[in-house]
Amino acid sequence: MSTAAHRSGCPINLSLEVFGDRWSLIILRDMMFGGRRHFRELLTRSEEGISSNILADRLKMLLDEGMITKTDDPSHKQKAVYSLTEKSIALVPIFAHLGAWGRRYLPVSEELSIRAQLLEEGGPALWDQFMAELRELHLGEPAKREGPTVAEQLQAAYEKVLARQAAKTRR
Please give the C-alpha separations between residue 12 and each of 5, 17, 58, in angstroms, as whole numbers. Answer: 16, 9, 20
The DSSP string of 103-124 is HHHS---HHHHHHHHHHHHHHH
165 binds, among a copy of itself, DNA, none (CB under 5 to 8 A by kind): none
**Residues binding DNA: what is the number (CB under 7 A)?**
23
* Contact yes or no for 40/84 (Cβ under 8 A): no
CB of 110 to a copy of itself, least distance (A): 8
Choose the contact partner of 156 out of DNA, a copy of itself, none; CB within 5 to 8 A by kind: none
| CA atoms within 13 Å, Cβ hemisphere of 4 | 9
Q: 34: which DSSP letter?
A: S
Pick left, alpha or beta for residue 66 (phi over 0 → left; psi -120 to 50 → alpha; otherwise beta).
left
Contact region with DNA (CB under 7 A), list: 19-27, 119-127, 131-139, 146-154: 19-27
Is residue 112 a contact point for a copy of itself (CB under 8 A)? yes
User: Among 44, 101, 160, 165, which residue sits at the site for a copy of itself (rule: CB under 8 A)?
Assistant: 101
72 with 79: CB under 8 angstroms? yes
106 binds, among DNA, a copy of itself, none (CB under 5 to 8 A by kind): a copy of itself
Say whether residue 160 binds DNA (CB under 7 A): no
Please pick, from the candidates 17, 41, 128, 136, the single residue that binds a copy of itself as defined by CB under 8 A. 17
Return the closest-CA partner of residue 26 out of 110, 149, 121, 112. Answer: 112
Q: Which residues bind a copy of itself (CB under 8 A)?
A: 6-18, 20-22, 25-26, 29, 47-49, 87, 90-91, 93-95, 97-109, 111-113, 116
Q: Which residues bind DNA (CB under 7 A)?
A: 21-23, 38-41, 49, 51-54, 56-57, 59-60, 70, 75-80
